[in-house]
Structures are given as C-alpha cells and as structure tokens.
Amino acid sequence: MEYDFRKIEKDWQKKWKESNAYKVANDFSKPKCYVLDMFPYPSGAGLHVGHPLGYIASDIYSRYKRLKGFNVLHPMGFDSFGLPAEQYALDTGQHPAETTKKNIATFKSQLDNIGFCYDWEREVQTSDPNYYKWTQWIFLQLFNSYFDKKENKAKPIADLIKTFETEGNLAARSSQLTAFSADEWKQFDEKQKADILMNHRLAFCGYGEVNWCEALGTVLANDEVVNGVSERGGHPVVKKTLRQWYLRITDYADRLLEGLNTVDFSDAMKEMQSNWIGKSSGAEIEFGVKSQESGAKLRVYTTRPDTIFGVDFMVIAPEYELVEEITTKEQQKAVEEYITYVKSRSERERMAEKKISGVFTGAYAKNPFNGREIPIWISEYVLAGYGTGAIMAVPCGDERDLKFAKHFNIPVTNIIGTHFNGEEANPTKDAILENSGFLDGLVMREALEIAINKIEELGIGKRKVNYKMRDAAFSRQRYWGEPFPITWEDGIAKEWTGELPLVLPEVEKYGPGPDGQGPLANIPEWVAQELETNTMPGYAGSSWYFLRYMDNKNEKEFCSRAASDYWNQVDLYIGGTEHAVGHLLYSRMWTKVLYDLGYIGFDEPFKRLVNQGMIQGSSRFVYRVICKAMNNDGEGIEYNDIFLSKAFADKREKMESGNNEWNEILDLITHKLSIVFPKKNFQAKGFTIIPQHVDVNIVDGFELDIEAFRKLKPEFNNAEFIYEDGKYICGSEVEKMSKSKFNTVNPDDLVAKYGADTFRMYEMFLGPVEMSKPWDTKGIEGVHRFLKKFWRLFADETKGLIINDEEPTAAELKVLHNAIRKIEQDTERFSFNTGVSGFMIVTNELTDLKCHKRKILEPLLILLAPYAPHIAAELWSLLGNATAVLDAAYPTFEEKYVKESSKAYPVAINGKTRTELTIALDATQQQVEELVLTDETVKKWLDGKQPKKIIYVKNKMINIVI
C-alpha cells in the first residue's frame, strides 16, 4: 500500500468539489474569520511558484481556523483590468476580455491543482460588468461627496451646497479657496458653481502631467519609460499636461496616519505609509523678488523657519509658475535650455540624480528680515508638487543645499557656529544661532516657534502643516479599465444618468485617441453622448474587492450591510510589500469614505497584515560566442553557434586581445571549428561573448542538459559546446521571476512530479513567509521523503494498514503533545517553515518508537490536515472515519504529558559554555551555586580561584564569572 499521491490528490479534489466542501455560508451564528490574499493580476505567463507562497500560507491558516471552529471566508478572485492585456491587444488585435478570460482559466486550474480551499462561488473579477458596476457606483459616491474639515469626515456634496446657499463659503478665508457669501453663491452661474464644487469633491477633475510620447501618440506608464525614451521603440518622451481625475486622499492624510495605530501591520509597513504621507509642520514664507515691480512674491515652504538667516539661495522647480516672469534677459537662454533638458526627465530620475544641475534665473529674492539679496536658482531636485515648488536653501544645515552651493560657488553663511565645519552640513536643532538677527543666541529648537510667530506677526507668511502625499491621480488614457459614469456638458462634469454599469464599449482598435485621449475617444457614439473618455486606473477595482467577496451575488448593493457587519474587517491579509503605499493606502481611504457615508461599520479594512516575501527567479545563462575565423586560402567566416562554459566566460573581464586568456579561448574555438568544418582549417581570429538567458527548467543546478537544450531550440541543433570538467556549466543571477528571463518555474510541473501536498509543504519549508529568496527546487525531495515516511507510520507496502488500538506510552504521548504545542504555536505566529520541521521531527521520533497507534496518529493527522490536506484526508478515511477531516476538532495540548522536573543547564564560564549540568527546575540560587562548584569541569576552569559571581537564570542557563 504505497503513497500514491497522484491518485489520492485527484480523488480528493474531485470529492471536495462534488460535496461543495469549501462552500462558505453567511452563517451569522458562528464566529467568523476572514482570511484574504491580495488577488493576482492574471498575466499571460500563468502562475509561477512565487504566487502561491502567500496563498499556501493563508490556506493553511484558513483550514487551521476552520478546525478551530470558525466560519472562515477565504476567497479568491482576479484583478483583471490592466495594462499588459491592453498591450497584448495592441500587438495582436485580440480583445483584452478574451485573453483575460483565457488567463483566468489557466490561473484557476493552476490554483485548483494545489488544493486550495476557495469557495469559487464567491469569486470576483474586476473587469466583470457585474463587479465594476459597483466600482462605478462607489466612484459616484466619491464624486458626490466632500470632506468636511470640521467633522473630519466625508459628507454628501448636497450638504455643502446647502451650506453655500445659507452661509456662503466663509470657511474658505483661511484656505486658498475663494471666499464668497450666500448671496454671491446664488448669483453664480451653473459653470461657476460646478467649478467651485469641483474644488471640494472627493473625486475631482484637474490637470496633471503625464509621460507623453509623441511618436506613439500615447501616454506611457513610468515603467514604460527608460532613460527618457519609450521602452518600446526608444522614442522621446516629454511631460504633457492633460485633464485628469483625482481622489482627494490628502484630506484623509491625518486619518490614514491615525488609523495606523489601530491595525496590526509591521512597524516597517507603518513607517513606509507614514513616510509616504509625510506630515511635517513649518511655515510658508513669502519673499519679495527684487527685479519685480509687479510685486511678484516667491512663496517657499520650510520646516525650519529658524534658519531663515542662513538662506544663501532659493531653488524653484523648473515648472514653477514664476519662472518666465522673473528670469532676466541675460539668463533667458540658459534657463530655456535647462527647462528643455528637465522636460525629458522623469520624476524618478530627477530625484535619484546624484549629479548636481541647475541654472541661475538672474533674479534675486529679498530676505524679509535683513533685506539681504538672495539669488534664485532653478534645479530639477525641487519638484513642483512638493510644498510650494520652491525652497529656501540653507547650505550649512542641509547636505543637498551645501553640495549645490559648492558646485555653483555660492558663498555659505554659517549660522550655527562650531556645529558647522564647512565640509558637512549639520541638520541639528540644538545649535545656538549666530548671524541670525533677532534670533541670535537662541537654541534653534526654541527659535523655531519664535521665528514662526514673528513671520505671522509681520504678515509675511504663516504656520503650515504640509503633506508630502499628493492627491491620487485616478484616470488613465487607456481602454482596458472601468469607464467613468460621467458626462461632460458645456465643460461641466455630471453624473451619467443611465443605469449602471456603464459598459465598456467594443472598439475596433486599441490605439490612442486624438490629443492624447484614450481609445474611447475614437468611438463616435461614445463621444456623441459626451461621455468621459478616460478610464479608471488599475487600483480602482482593488480598492474595495474585499467587500464584494462578502456578498458577491448582490444585485442591489455593493455588499449588504448585514454581510459586512458580520464578516467585518479582514482578520488576516497577505500580500507583498510592493503594495505598501499604493493599494494599501487607496483601499484604506475608500473604506473610510464608505464608513463616513454610512455604508459599512468599520473604517479600517485590514486588521492584520502579513507581508509575504518575493520569490525571485534564479536565472541561468549560456555564453554564446560570436567568432570570426579565416583559413590560409583567405576564406573568412563569422560563426556563432559555439557556447562557452561558465569558467571560460568568467575570464572575459581579464581578456585582452593577444593575452593568455584570449589565446586559450581562440584555441578552443579553432578546435571546435575544425569539428564543424572538418577540411577547412579555419583559425579563429576574434570573438565576442554574449550571455543569453536559458530556460532554468533544462538546467540541473548549474549544469545544462544539452539534449534538452537542442530539443527546445532546434536552431542550435548543430551547436558546439566548450565544456569544463566534461560539463557545460551555466552562469546565474537573481532577478525578478518573469517569462522574458526564462526563469519561471510552473507549480503544475512540481505538482505533477511530487504532488500538491509536497509542493505546499516545500514552499513553506523554504523559509519564513515574509522573507524574499530566489527559488530553488533542490530540496523538494526531502519534503517528499518526509510525506512518504509519514505515510509509513500508517501503512506498509505489503501489509497495508498497520494501525493498532493499543494504549500509548508516556513517551509517545510526550512526543505527540510536544508536536501539538509546537505546530499550533508555529501556525498561529505564521512560522510555517518551523511548523513543517516540527512535523518532520515528530515523524522521525514516532518512527524510532515504532509507534503505529491510532490514539497518537489520529490527532497528528488533524494537525497535518491544513498543511497537506490530501494525504490527511486519505489516511483519515482509511482509518475508518466517516466525517471529513476538514471539520475535525483540533487536538488540545495538555501540559501534563510533557512536564519535566529537571533540565540540562548549559554552564558557561565567562559567557562561554563549557559543560552541562542537569538540575531540578525548582532549584534555588544557593543550591545551584553549591552544585555547580562541585563539578569537575567548573573546578578545572576555576583553577582554585573564587568565582566573582554566579548567574543563574531559571530554565535558561548558568554563567560563572571569574
């Protein structure tokens, strides 16, 4: 009776499907547990071994919770709108809906293969009109709401209109919005009113810069732009301003920050989010510009108004509105050239640039306190979207400013005395100010407040809280996304009056529309209805999908209140850190809005978040040689079907024409040429080595399977290989797992070879779920061996079942209960790798004890069921159980079976362990000291001396200080 995993797994998957074993009911009588994975984008490459890492972890946890009596919601779906499908459509003409459908089918079959406990009845797909109907509906809620600063929450825009009608916009006096009275509001025409309301809507329209590629006639995503040119075709890319939709997430900045205190995310994650929000306090200060009689003012934001006397220059963003106005004639050309240069640069490049660049405008600002003239510069490191787009540079206190000053020979004022050495800027707040007018002699920390007060008093600026976070751009000039249920009449955006969903129309081609508009602008009927031609971005659908799973068939609501009250927050959310500041912030914001508007009863979506590490690919390379050769008859060829093993290719750095390494390779090539062209007598003259990715699936460790290689690439049927030690060794590199790098490993292949249970446990055994690591299939055998060994506790090849009903011994009970404790703890704390090793240990121990007792093995089966559900189900039923192991009761750990009365303590001398002593657990300090001093090893180390101190930590260790 062998462990026939192929048959067992197929049978059980079939049984589970037929019996609806994973159906989740909205059974409100049971305690609930909501376990969620970040749903995947169904890419054409299918699932690779990196995807299931988190899915297996959550599956184990879900099954574990079910055994513990919870009603567990553990759904799966697809984030099926997105750029790759659209690009594929552009390339091949296939409708994204078609390819997406195919890809989803592949993903689902791959997922089912691994034996996950999803209730597919609850699946959601963001590109399904029945789903995006509600995405559009929520968008309209955002569009029809504003953020009430007083109540610190979203409210219907109708409320705001009422306020305008009765009190006008008096509150606006303290902000940058225009103030008006109730009467004035009533006088405004429709367009004026609409424009004002647009300044308050949570989803609003504005203008923003995009990566524009003229040659492709389209807007490009950041990762489609490489070094200022388009990734496809290498065309120039510039900034272009287009009308865009935004979400007013900045209004939620404070609540997003505060909410972090109520959720169980890692400190790193919380830190990333709060850094992204970037709350800072300081002041906005206005500086007069010298050359401007018009009274143009330069408004800067600074967190350090205390350093105002140390300002040696100003830097404004190249996009700053006053650039043209203040630039002097002499500097005009230089400024224009610089701005042209900056236009070709992405924001990322601008921030990452180490090289200092900038240009002087010729204009000077005036320090409002001492009248000092300060040169105004333009530099790319100041971004228009941050603060006011202008900074005051204080080189003695800021490294970046100091480098800039040094580079352009701008004299540096020292206001912090000895705290500044002229070499390195010092951002201290503890220095006593010098050269600082009325602030002289004050500690900076205190000067800060005094400076702000003075600035406000003089009316040259005001206290200001600033956020680094910007409002979220919420539109794309693309096809494959949710259409906005918005129409434009006379420049006024209005809610579309039809019945949702507003279905994405068919298009003939997926290319861009006119003037940088999306493909929808090519459809006459669409344009005729004055419908918005932008579509929503990828994160629209993913910002609320966790709510739809709760009640995915509901046609009347996005989710019934009863369902969301019951399932409530996601108890455990698993996904990668790459979503730290995108998806996780947007979904938190949407949840808060839905809560504010009374649609759900909680304002944080995810109670606990676990970040799974990324499984990287371990790529393999072959080194192709392109060589030139000649023979004595003057015949010359270029030949490129020779591959060098790694050891030779590694020498290429050292190679120079004519040196030893070079000649060695030439000889090897010449030899190979004599095999390919037997009578020609070619002599290799020169060569280049080109590393090429090779499919990792035909490489064993580092050794290339040449037969498989020839089979896979018939064009290399006659290729020659230069071996080392009789093998062809490949190069390797750790990279992202991707089809284009030929380093993807398909779980299907591993499941076919070792079974789903082995695959699941191996992925967990690889290491902590949170850690990133390159994939390596080596080692899976060990896990497979373990499952076979586990099987042999129950069944013998020849004798069949070997289970008996004898009473367990104390030793056996101890082994079992140690395992219960370890595995339960490890599962709870998400340490699945040590959990797996716990199973290995208990199996090894029971094998050594030759234990085949039902009373020991049956509880063990329940422990294993979440990790390896198929083998557990099979053995469970072989033991004669009529019920499903899925709903068995989790075994309870009992202390009494594992209790010890003594412990083998490590005894250290000066911190180094020298021996071991077994001592009763309830021993006192004095007893231990006496005992320790009689020990031979200790005596030897003491060498007759008296110990200075004996440290005894109960249940831990003993340390003798000499």
Q: Which amino acid is at 890?
A: Y
**Is there binding between residue 913 and RNA (CB under 7 A)?**
yes
Q: Which amino acid is at 923?
A: A
Q: Which residues pair with 618 in a beta bridge?
A: 734
Candidates 40, 54, 747, 891: give the one binding RNA (CB under 7 A).
40
Q: Which residues of 342-372 are buried (b: 16+ CB within 10 A; e: fewer)?
A: bbebbeeebeeeeeebbbbbbbbbebbbeee
Candidates 182, 216, 238, 242: give the one binding RNA (CB under 7 A).
242
Contact set for RNA, span 746-805 (CB under 7 A): 765-768, 771-773, 776, 778-779, 781-783, 785-786, 788-789
**Is there binding between residue 582 and RNA (CB under 7 A)?**
yes
Stretch of residues binding RNA (CB under 7 A), selected from 172-180, 362-370, 536-544, 878-886 = 536-544
User: Token pair of 564, please?
Assistant: 């969301």
- How near is the Cβ of 813 to RNA at its closest, in Å? 19
* Cβ 615 vs Cβ 772: under 8 Å: yes
Distance of alpha carbon 682 from alpha carbon 669, whole angstroms: 10
Q: Where are the alpha helices (DSSP H) in 278-343?
A: 323-326, 332-343
Which of helix, strand or coil describes residue 393? strand
Contact set for RNA, span 153-172 (CB under 7 A): none
Distance of alpha carbon 536 from alpha carbon 435, whole angstroms: 54
Nearer Cβ to RNA, position 197 or 783? 783
User: Token pair of 765, please?
Assistant: 């055994």
**Is there binding between residue 515 and RNA (CB under 7 A)?**
no
- How near is the Cβ of 271 to RNA at its closest, in Å? 4
Which of helix, strand or coil describes residue 865? coil
* Cβ 74 vs Cβ 35: under 8 Å: yes
- How near is the Cβ of 787 to RNA at its closest, in Å? 9
Contact set for RNA, span 666-705 (CB under 7 A): none
Candidates 83, 203, 205, 860: give the one binding RNA (CB under 7 A).
83
Candidates 275, 660, 692, 924: give the one binding RNA (CB under 7 A).
275
- How near is the Cβ of 36 to RNA at its closest, in Å? 15
- How near is the Cβ of 869 to RNA at its closest, in Å? 20
**Is there binding between residue 581 and RNA (CB under 7 A)?**
yes
Q: Where are the alpha helices (DSSP H) in 775-924?
A: 780-794, 810-828, 832-848, 854-864, 869-878
Nearer Cβ to RNA, position 396 or 665? 396
Distance of alpha carbon 879 from alpha carbon 794, whole angstroms: 9
Contact set for RNA, span 183-222 (CB under 7 A): 208, 210-211, 219-222
Contact set for RNA, span 326-355 (CB under 7 A): 347-348, 351-352, 354
Candidates 734, 878, 884, 933: give the one binding RNA (CB under 7 A).
734
Candidates 426, 732, 837, 881: give the one binding RNA (CB under 7 A).
837
Q: Is 912 exposed, middle or buried (0-12, 13-18, 19+ CB in 10 A)?
A: exposed
Nearer Cβ to RNA, position 368 or 541? 541
The angle that helices 832-848 and 52-67 make with each other, rounded to 10 degrees, is: 60
- How near is the Cβ of 83 to RNA at its closest, in Å? 4
- How near is the Cβ of 167 to RNA at its closest, in Å? 33
Nearer Cβ to RNA, position 66 or 419? 419
* Cβ 71 vs Cβ 886: under 8 Å: no
- How near is the Cβ of 80 to RNA at its closest, in Å? 8
Q: Is the dihedral of CA 12, 16, 22, 27 positive or negative?
A: negative
User: Token pair of 700, please?
Assistant: 């064993």
- How near is the Cβ of 832 to RNA at its closest, in Å? 9
Candidates 22, 34, 41, 566: give the one binding RNA (CB under 7 A).
41
Contact set for RNA, span 475-504 (CB under 7 A): 475-478
Q: Phi/psi of residue 741, each to 5°?
A: -100, 5
Distance of alpha carbon 137 from alpha carbon 160, whole angstroms: 20
Q: Is the dihedral of CA 769, 774, 779, 781 positive or negative?
A: positive
Q: Which residues pair with 373 in a beta bridge?
A: 366
**Is there binding between residue 924 and RNA (CB under 7 A)?**
no
Q: For the chain, first and last CA: distance in Å? A: 62
Contact set for RNA, span 48-67 (CB under 7 A): none
- How near is the Cβ of 165 to RNA at its closest, in Å? 34
Stretch of residues binding RNA (CB under 7 A), selected from 75-83, 336-344, 449-457, 919-927 = 75-83
Nearer Cβ to RNA, position 171 or 384? 384
* Cβ 764 vs Cβ 836: under 8 Å: yes
Candidates 231, 641, 650, 916: give the one binding RNA (CB under 7 A).
916
Nearer Cβ to RNA, position 300 or 584? 584
- How near is the Cβ of 836 to RNA at its closest, in Å? 7
State the pairing for strand pair 957-961/902-909: parallel
- How near is the Cβ of 241 to RNA at its closest, in Å? 10
Contact set for RNA, span 930-959 (CB under 7 A): 949, 951, 953, 956-957, 959
- How near is the Cβ of 466 to RNA at its closest, in Å? 11
Provide the Cα torsion 157, 159, 165, 168; round to 10°. -80
User: Token pair of 605, please?
Assistant: 């979506």
Candidates 52, 54, 77, 82: give the one binding RNA (CB under 7 A).
82
Instruction: State which H helix or E strand residue 274 sits in.
Output: helix 267-277
* Cβ 365 vs Cβ 383: under 8 Å: no
- How near is the Cβ of 911 to RNA at its closest, in Å? 3
- How near is the Cβ of 192 to RNA at its closest, in Å? 27
Which of helix, strand or coil describes residue 298? strand
Q: How many CB atoms lie within 10 A of CB 114?
A: 23
- How near is the Cβ of 523 to RNA at its closest, in Å? 19
Which of helix, strand or coil describes residue 818? helix
Candidates 94, 825, 877, 881: give the one binding RNA (CB under 7 A).
825
Candidates 238, 339, 473, 801: give the one binding RNA (CB under 7 A).
473
**Is there binding between residue 519 and RNA (CB under 7 A)?**
no
Q: How many CA atoms lie within 13 A of 280 on its CB side?
A: 15
Binding mask 378-407 for RNA (x = CB under 7 A): ----------------------x-------
Q: Which residue has the tokens 């850690």?
A: 771
Candidates 196, 469, 594, 756: give the one binding RNA (CB under 7 A).
469
**Is there binding between residue 829 and RNA (CB under 7 A)?**
yes
Cα 430 from chain centroid (whole Å)? 38
Contact set for RNA, span 401-440 (CB under 7 A): none
Distance of alpha carbon 180 from alpha carbon 940, whole angstroms: 92
Distance of alpha carbon 419 from alpha carbon 411, whole angstroms: 18
Nearer Cβ to RNA, position 353 or 635? 353
Stretch of residues binding RNA (CB under 7 A), selected from 58-66, 553-561, 632-640, 829-837 = 829-837
Helix/strand/coil (H, E, C) string of 907-941?
A: EEECCEEEEEEEEECCCCHHHHHHHHHCCHHHHHH
- How near is the Cβ of 545 to RNA at its closest, in Å? 11
Distance of alpha carbon 435 from alpha carbon 430, whole angstroms: 16
Task: Determine the size of the site formed for RNA (CB under 7 A).
Answer: 104
Q: Which amino acid is at 56?
A: I
Contact set for RNA, span 85-124 (CB under 7 A): none
Nearer Cβ to RNA, position 379 or 475? 475
Stretch of residues binding RNA (CB under 7 A), selected from 108-116, 197-205, 299-307, 823-831 = 823-831
